[in-house]
Amino acid sequence: MTQADLLRDNRRWTTAMIVVLILSVGWTFLSRVPQAATVNGGPPPSPREGFSAPDFTLDLLGGGQVALSELRGKVVMVNLWASWCPPCRAEMPAIEKVYQAYRDRGLVVLAVNTTFQDNEADAAAFVQEFGLTFLIPLDRNGSVSKRYQLRGLPSTFFVDRNGIIRSVIIGGPMSEALIQSKVEELLKETP
Amino acid sequence: MLPFIRLGPFLLQLPGLVLLVGVWIGSALAEKEAERLKLSPADVYNLIFYGLVAGLIGARLAYAAQYLSAYLANPLSLFALTPATLSPNGGLVIGAAIATLFGWRKKMALRRTLDALAPGLAAFMIAFGVAHFLSGDAFGSSTKLPWAIYLWDDYRHPSQVYETLAALAAFAIVWKRPVDKPGDGVNFLLLVSLSAAARVFLEAFRGDSVIWLGGFRAAQVIGLLALAASLWLMRVWAQRESQSAQML
């Protein structure tokens, strides 16, 4: 019997339809996600949306250290950049502008310089040139770039107050509206 | 997973490129099918074109409407080339509305037009699966099966491969046109029911499902509703077609 014949036979079609739907409902029921999987612990660390932001501790340009895990409760924008990268240069003024507008509401910008493929003197000159006021961690050995599976510069990770990556932007330059929209969305949320 | 290729200062987004190829092949197949179903291929092409353009513009406008103050302060950002500031749902609704309006103004027969679109849509869904594979999106849940792939710091079901294979199977069936009344809309509904059934089955292996109350996966529930509706409508449309054939 062809499908066309089956379609014209009302009784057989109804039976086939009911069998398919019962099997589908059963499968949907069986493949429910157990409550324990959604309640116990947060998502594992990985550099993509929906996962915990992989933790790191890095030295800062100008002295001191920063650990991502210590910023829990704040909205964090992790931006990986290099002084020789044209789109990084193009988007930094927009990042600074958004940072100035939202820092008092709990926005932290970690502009991680990929120092292993740049150098500290050029990074410092870059920061001075653009008058950047946010934190500049230095990824001297490339471990953070590797952990964040860096594929292109700039790369930006928007991390919510619970330490979950909510948006990833690879490449640039990002527009001011893009940065503002992503940051605003996360700042509205309560931890 | 290979989301980007660096070409000098540019990052070429491979998933986007694959989707573009999918649109191109899909449109060509829809035009060819339109000719077979005695519809104007130019009308079908224009319907797809206007729907896509309206969908793209609508997706950006819908996103901007959510963050109005940001876009009022920087209106030029509306033209930014990033897909991160597109609202997929907004784009889908606006694109479908404009395509429907176009079809209505051109007096295109609904069921015949849907049948003309079916093979093209099926081809696009293959491209969609490949794009997911390249980007690492729509990833699978953790597994220890021998064919697991290492993605996002874990061994996972190759859900993108499952999705692509299911789309290939759906394409093969729809392309063969197993229903012998061309233009009655049943071939399109067959594609919808096959895709919905595949989604209900394969969603169980996904690691990024949206979870609803009771642990139910949202895509499975929506897939179930789509499956029930398309199977029911298939029967209704086929019956109507055979009744009108008998009257003749």
- CB contacts < 8 A, A to B, total 136
Structure tokens at B25: 């092949």
Residue A8 above 80 pLDDT? no
Q: Where are the alpha helices (DSSP H) in B136-185?
A: 159-176
Domain boundaries, chain B: 4-39+109-247
Q: Find all residues with CB under 8 Å of A17, minimum gap 6, and list them.
A: B228, B231, B232, B235
SS (H, E, C) B66-126: HCHHHHHHCHHHHHCCCHHHCCHHHHHHHHHHHHHHHHHHCCCCHHHHHHHHHHHHHHHHH
Q: What does the pLDDT read at residue B235?
A: 87
Q: What does the pLDDT read at residue A3?
A: 63
CB B140 within 8 A of CB B206: yes
Q: What does the pLDDT read at residue B141?
A: 94
Residue A82 lies in a domain: yes
pLDDT-derived band at B228 (thresholds 50, 70, 90) equals very high
Q: What does the pLDDT read at residue B80?
A: 86
Task: Give dist(CA A25, CA A18) in Å, integer.
Answer: 10
Closest chain B CA to residue A155: B11
Which of A178, A182, A185 to probe by mutation at the B interface, max B CB count within 10 Å? A178
Q: Which of A17, A24, A30 sits opposite B224 (nearest CB)?
A: A24
pLDDT-derived band at A9 (thresholds 50, 70, 90) equals confident
Residue B242 above 80 pLDDT? no
Q: How many Å lie between the alpha carbon of B29 and the closest alpha carbon of chain A?
A: 23
Range in A23-27, A62-66, A186-190, B92-96 with the lowest mean pLDDT: A186-190
Place of tokens 């642990």: B215
Q: Find all residues with CB under 8 Å of A7, minimum gap 6, and list them.
A: A13, B179, B186, B234, B235, B238, B239
Q: HSE of A31 in the Cβ direction (CA atoms, 13 Å)?
A: 22
Q: Where are the alpha helices (DSSP H) in chain A?
A: 3-8, 10-30, 35-39, 86-102, 120-130, 143-147, 176-188
Q: Do B217 and A14 touch (CB under 8 A)?
A: no
Closest chain B CA to residue A29: B216
For A120-144, the pLDDT digits (tens) are 999 999 999 999 999 999 999 999 9
Place of tokens 């406008």: B61
For A65-104, the pLDDT digits (tens) are 999 999 999 999 999 999 999 999 999 999 999 999 999 9
Q: Are both A11 and A65 inside the same structural domain?
A: no
* Mean pLDDT, all residues of chain B: 92
Closest C-alpha to A145, from A120, A123, A118, A164: A118
Taking contacts as CB-CB distances below 8 angstroms, the residues of chain B near A27 are 200-201, 204, 220
Q: Are both A175 and A100 inside the same structural domain?
A: yes
Residue A140 lies in a domain: yes
The total of other beta-carbon atoms located within 10 Å of residue A52's CB is 19
pLDDT-derived band at B182 (thresholds 50, 70, 90) equals confident
Q: Is B8 within 8 Å of chain A by CB?
A: no
Count of residues making up chain B: 248
Q: Are both A90 and A178 inside the same structural domain?
A: yes
CB A166 within 8 A of CB A60: no
CB B134 within 8 A of CB B164: no
Q: What does the pLDDT read at residue A32?
A: 94
Closest C-alpha to B163, from B132, B188, B190, B118: B132
Q: Are both A106 and A12 inside the same structural domain?
A: no
Q: Is B202 within 8 Å of chain A by CB?
A: no
Q: Which of B186, B224, B242 sits opposite A25 (nearest CB)?
A: B224
Q: Is B227 within 8 Å of chain A by CB?
A: yes
The CATH number for A163's domain is 3.40.30.10
Q: How many Å lie between the alpha carbon of B127 and the closest alpha carbon of chain A?
A: 22
pLDDT (mean) for B202-212: 95
pLDDT-derived band at B180 (thresholds 50, 70, 90) equals low
Q: Do A175 and B76 touch (CB under 8 A)?
A: yes
Which of A10, A11, A14, A24 to probe by mutation at the B interface, max B CB count within 10 Å? A24
Q: Which of B4, B70, B200 sits opposite A27 (nearest CB)?
A: B200
Q: Is B212 within 8 Å of chain A by CB?
A: no
Taking contacts as CB-CB distances below 8 angstroms, the residues of chain A near B217 are 28, 31-33
For B51-75, the pLDDT digits (tens) are 999 999 999 999 999 999 899 988 9
Q: How many Å lie between the alpha carbon of A24 and the closest alpha carbon of chain B?
A: 7
Q: What does the pLDDT read at residue A191?
A: 66
Residue A136 lies in a domain: yes
Q: Are both A169 and A96 inside the same structural domain?
A: yes
Q: Is B65 within 8 Å of chain A by CB?
A: no
**Three-class SS state of A24:** helix
**Three-class SS state of A50:** coil
pLDDT-derived band at B83 (thresholds 50, 70, 90) equals confident
Structure tokens at B63: 């996103």
Model-level pTM? 0.87
* DSSP symbol at B183: T
SS (H, E, C) A92-118: HHHHHHHHHHHHHHCEEEEEEECHHHC
Residue A43 lies in a domain: no
Residue A23 lies in a domain: yes
Residue A47 lies in a domain: no
Task: Give dist(CA A130, CA B207) in Å, integer.
Answer: 42
Q: Are both A86 and A18 inside the same structural domain?
A: no
ipTM attached to this prediction: 0.86
Q: For residue A113, what are the domain limits? A: 57-188
Residue A16 lies in a domain: yes
Structure tokens at B229: 């509706």
pLDDT (mean) for B130-143: 94
Residue A40 lies in a domain: no
Q: What does the pLDDT read at residue A150?
A: 92
